[in-house]
Amino acid sequence: MTLKTLLIAAAVLSLLAVVALGLALGSADELQREVTAIQTRRTDTLQLAARLRENSDDLTRMARHFAVTGDSRFEELYRRIAAVRDGKSPRPPGDAGVIWDLLLGGIEPPKGEGERLSLADDVVRAKLSGAEQALVARARTAQASLEGLEERALAAMKGLAPGANTATPGPPDPVAALKILYSSEYFDAKARTQQALGELYTEIELRTRGELVKADQALARALQTIWLILILFGIVGYGALGYALWRGLLPLLALRRQADALVNGDYVARTKARALREIEDLMRGLNEAASRLESGARELDEKDRYLEALLRTSPLGLVLVDAKHRVRWTSRRLRDFLGDSKQDLKLMPFDEFFADPAELATFRDGLERKGRVRELIARIRRRDGSEFRARLDSSYVERSAERLAAVWVQAFGLHGQKPDAPAHEAGA
């Protein structure tokens, strides 16, 4: 696999993860809104069933209070409760049951008006199931029977006997009114009303609970899907990261170690590892470079040994001098000339080699002006203080990007050597 393929795969994987996670989160958000909507509908529908029962109880309570006390306030509230139920008057703010008690106690209720909506319209808007609508119809039939009995009781309290002339009402008849409101017929109609409303409440509660459970289960599955997606892409992501480390980072670390070894002069180290194609190409190139360096190092060693052999067998001595006139390297032959064959002469001032300052000045002048010295005859001082005559030849050379003066020394009068000619010049 190439690095490009790995990067494309990682990008595609990341894109897929973002898209899948976005879809899953969108689905979960939609399901969450659906759960909230079901909870709202459940609450509203159960409140509707409770209001139907509360409305029936309020009407019964006001009718009986009026029959017992004859206080017209109870009849007024009875009419107002019926008007609110039928949508002819706006609903009171807050809890209706509490409002009626506040009015009876002479306490000013909260200001404002509620929605003008009949309970019948409220039932239609609630979109009840067929079984629930049948229960509502049963409750309405029983409630109609109750209202008929309550109207008879209210008429008796106003002296309006059945069939009597409404223009000349008689005296209130609370006994007749109470007999109606506490009759077996009234209790039977009340029981049928409450039974239907109780079954309606139970039916609504069971239905909405089932809807809520299904919605919660769907939401739970969506959340599980999100977790599965996260876990899946986490596993795939860590797998891709592990692959990148195995085929990318580890081989690169091995290449770095090989490069450090090459810098330190170890040309034998090689790197062999399974890696990305680009890294394998780099590995092959570095191994080939190491092989060439190793071959070149062997050739240099051979040349160094050859040069060392030449210098050992040469009758000439060689010294390398830097720009500050310090000795940087001497051959074994030169150290023999100076009587210091076992001593390291590095960083020794080259000027101390000359016994005659004039000859040193001539050497420097020729080297600085022409960059070379040819067949300069000079007296060289040995370490024991003795002197010998020698011919000096010098020119500049480059060694490791440093400019050095290479000085060849041919001694006369040492080891049986004799001068070839009495030449004496600085740079022919």
Rounded mean pLDDT for each run of 10 residues along the chain, 428 residues in total: 75 82 83 85 84 88 91 90 86 72 77 75 83 89 91 88 59 90 93 91 89 88 86 84 80 83 81 79 84 82 77 83 89 83 75 90 90 91 88 88 89 60 43
The tally of CA atoms less than 13 A away on the side-chain side of residue 240 is: 17
Q: Let me know whether 31 and 130 are in one domain.
A: yes
**Could you tell me if residue 392 is inside a domain?**
yes
With a CB cutoff of 8 Å and minimum separation 6, the contacts of 288 are: none
Provide the domain count of the chain.
2
pLDDT in tens, 187-244: 999 999 999 889 988 988 898 889 889 888 888 888 888 888 888 888 888 888 887 7
Closest by CA position to 200, among listed 129, 292, 275: 129
**Could you tell me if residue 247 is inside a domain?**
no
Rounded Cα distance between 103 and 54, Å, is: 17
> What is the model's pLDDT at position 186?
93
**Could you tell me if residue 235 is inside a domain?**
no
> What is the model's pLDDT at position 417?
47
Q: Let me know whether 23 and 163 are in one domain.
A: yes
End of a domain among 229, 262, 279? 229
> What is the model's pLDDT at position 168?
60
End-to-end CA distance of the chain: 68
> For residue 381, what is the enclosing H or E element?
strand 372-381
**Could you tell me if residue 309 is inside a domain?**
no
> What is the model's pLDDT at position 97?
64
Rounded Cα distance between 403 and 350, Å, is: 16
**Could you tell me if residue 272 is inside a domain?**
no
With a CB cutoff of 8 Å and minimum separation 6, the contacts of 59 are: 78, 81, 82, 146, 147, 150
Q: Let me know whether 34 and 134 are in one domain.
A: yes
Q: Let me know whether 62 and 200 are in one domain.
A: yes
Closest by CA position to 333, among listed 410, 394, 421, 416: 410
> What is the model's pLDDT at position 242?
84
Q: Let me know whether 30 and 147 are in one domain.
A: yes
Q: Let me know whether 216 and 330 are in one domain.
A: no
**Could you tell me if residue 182 is inside a domain?**
yes
Question: Side by side, which strands form the sheet with 387-399?
Answer: 327-330, 317-321, 402-412, 387-399, 372-381
**Could you tell me if residue 73 is inside a domain?**
yes
pLDDT in tens, 310-344: 777 788 889 899 988 899 888 888 888 888 765 66
**Could you tell me if residue 310 is inside a domain?**
no
Q: Let me know whether 106 and 214 are in one domain.
A: yes
pTM: 0.55
Instruction: Measure CA 303 to chain center.
Output: 61
Q: What CATH number is associated with residue 403? A: 3.30.450.20
- Parent domain of 36: 18-229
